[in-house]
Amino acid sequence: MMGDYNDIHRWHWYARLFGFRQAFFHSQMIAGQCMSRLPAPDPQKSQRLDLWLKGRVYFNSDVSLRAAIVENFNSFALMLRCNERPVILGRWGNADARTMSTI
């Protein structure tokens, strides 16, 4: 976890001081891991990433990644196996005039 010096992402005892049950991964790192398993958009074009962070991914969590291509975007959801609710939802693809106008 280079570059992140917040100890709630490193030590269980420290995370518990702030009311978390244990240390958990950085959401941006987990999103990047999800994206690395998806087909990459055209690198010559502008890209758009929409993320909804809905929960935490604690160390040693059992997760699954669900993905589909919807309207030319990689849509994905990271699920904890013990929960039906996704912890991260995302959509990633090439941006065009239509998709950029919805920002």
Q: Where are the domains of the chain?
A: 26-100
User: Which tokens is 59 given?
Assistant: 């160390």
pLDDT grade, residue 3 (50/70/90)? low
pTM exceeds cut of 0.85 = no
pLDDT digits (tens, 9 = 90+) for 7-55: 999 999 999 999 999 999 999 999 999 999 999 999 999 999 999 999 9
- Helical spans, DSSP H, in the chain: 12-17, 27-35, 97-100
Model confidence at 103: pLDDT above 60: no
Please give the average per-residue pLDDT across 52-63, as a whole number.
94
